Amino acid sequence: MAYKILTTSSSFGKVDPAPLALLEAEGFEVTVNPYGRKLSVEESKEILKDYDGLIAGTESLNAAVLGSAENLKYLCRLGAGMDNVDFEAAKQLNITVENTPSAHVDGVAELTLGGILSCLRSIANAYTNITNGIWEKPMGSLLKGKTVGIIGLGRVGCRLVELLAPFKVKVLAFDLYQNTEFAEKHNVSFVGMDELISTSDIITIHTPYSPEAKHMVNAEFLGKAKANLCLVNASRGGLVDEAALLDFLSVNPAASAYLDTFEEEPYSGPLSKMKNCTLTPHIGSYASEVRINMEMEAAQNVINFFKK
């Protein structure tokens, strides 16, 4: 009997069919997301009933969804973030849960650097002006010599430090689990959160989402920041209080923000109207090399689980 595998990431196999071919060559019966988008809870509950394995995207995999998946034995989250998975429910249902924790690192780190540069030089806004017939030269600032505060010095945060090295920036970091060996090698200074907020010209977030971390960037946080702060979040939606950020950007026109993730996606809120805010539709892992690596890793995880 062939095991039935569902992939719910809307882009699975589109950049390169190799991950699908690998699974099929190993005898798996693979179905790709029939909706071509993020599934709702009700859609997930309906579609998951008949599958043995799931390669998941960012859809909610709560207790109700997992409980409806009568045959599900294995779940691989495509990417690193696991906040959409109810681990307690998975444990009770004997569903093994894994992810692909490393493949996305270069993609998110490079996108973060691009977001920082876009904010500092108003690249996105200048482009929008030209497309609207406005020839206006925004006065930006250099990344060179700035103080960059990194919240979360994990895989992505460390890779960002390496990418920042040629710009000769000062790097501060806050992390509950300090990688002191890396920090010493790359001249990163661990500081308290308040010091990082008040002294950084640029703050970029690279922490997992959890209920405790919800709206960690809020009005109180932003009240301690510089009036010309550049804030970047290419980590997880919900870490930033979007209403508080809107107020901050409105009161401080010299400030800027780049967001790739949002509390509710797709996002269509008021930040999209702000000239000093650049938004992208959760594309951190959307580089062809990254997608192929992630999908091949997920496919191999499925094979390893069912063939062991």
Helix, strand, or coil (residue 204): strand
Choosing from 70, 136, 162, 265, which is the catalytic residue?
265
If one counts every other C-beta atom within 10 angstroms of the C-beta of residue 18, the result is 13
Tell me, yes or no, if 88 is annotated catalytic.
no
Is there a cis peptide before residue 266, judged by omega within 30 degrees of 0? Answer: yes
Contacts 24+ apart (CB under 8 A), 153-156: 153/178, 153/179, 153/182, 153/183, 153/188, 153/190, 153/206, 154/206, 154/207, 155/80, 155/101, 155/102, 155/105, 156/104, 156/105, 156/108, 156/109, 156/112, 156/206, 156/235
For residue 163, what is the DSSP state?
H
Choosing from 282, 291, 295, 297, which is the catalytic residue?
282
- Which burial class, exposed, middle or buried, applies to 294 when counting CB atoms under 10 A from its CB (0-12, 13-18, 19+)? buried
Type of residue numbered 169: V
Give the separation between CA 230 and CA 248, rounded to whole angstroms. 11
Query: Is 294:103 a contact under the CB 8 Å cutoff?
Result: yes
Tell me, yes or no, if 282 is annotated catalytic.
yes
Residue 299, strand partner residues = none
Q: Find all residues with CB under 8 Å of 133, minimum gap 6, and list them.
A: none
Choosing from 104, 206, 236, 291, which is the catalytic residue?
236
Q: Find all residues with CB under 8 Å of 62, minimum gap 6, and list them.
A: 41, 86, 89
Active-site residue set:
236, 265, 282
